[in-house]
Structure 1
Amino acid sequence: MNLNLRHAIMTNVANNTKEQLEDTIVDAIERGEEKYLPGLGVLFEAIWNHSDEQQKETMLSTLEQAVKQ
């Protein structure tokens, strides 16, 4: 079986509104289950790939502070 996880996740959320995307992210985080990590990773990859350099710097600064806690 050839499963492209990135494609499947992106197809699944392609027509979601901002509110639905937020609900998906919050739900995955609140559940805290390992099985949701690949989906969150794909969503982060999409954010990263569609961000400009300043947005990436902001994300990296936020991440740097978050991992230090």
Structure 2
Amino acid sequence: MDLNLRHAIMENVANNTKEQLEDTIVDAIQRDEEKMLPGLGVLFEAIWNHSNEQQKEMMLSILEQAVKQ
């Protein structure tokens, strides 16, 4: 069975509104389930790949502070 997880996740949210995407992210975080991590990773990958260098720097600064807490 050839399952492309990235493709399946992106296809699942392709037509979602901003509000629906937010609900998906918040729900995944609040559930605190390991099985949700790949989906969040795919969404982060999409954000990263569609961000410019300034946006990436901002995300990295936020992440650096978050992991220190």
TM-score, normalised relative to structure 1: 1.00
Q: How does 1:42-53 map to 2 (within 5 A)?
A: 42-53=42-53
Structure 1 partner of 2:36: 36
How far residue 67 of structure 1 moved from its aligned partner, in angstroms, is: 0.1
**Percentage identity across aligned positions?**
88
The letter of the residue matching 2:65 is: Q
Structure 2 partner of 1:27: 27
Structure 1 partner of 2:17: 17
Q: Deviations over 1:2-55 (max 9, x none)?
A: 000000000000000000000000000000000000000000000000000000
Runs of 5+ unmatched residues, structure 2: none
Matched length = 69
Secondary structure of the corresponding residue to residue 46 of structure 1: helix
Q: Which runs of 4+ in 1 moved over 4 A?
A: none
Structure 2 partner of 1:2: 2
Q: Distance in 2 between matches of 1:30 and 1:57?
A: 26
Runs of 5+ unmatched residues, structure 1: none
RMSD (CA atoms): 0.2
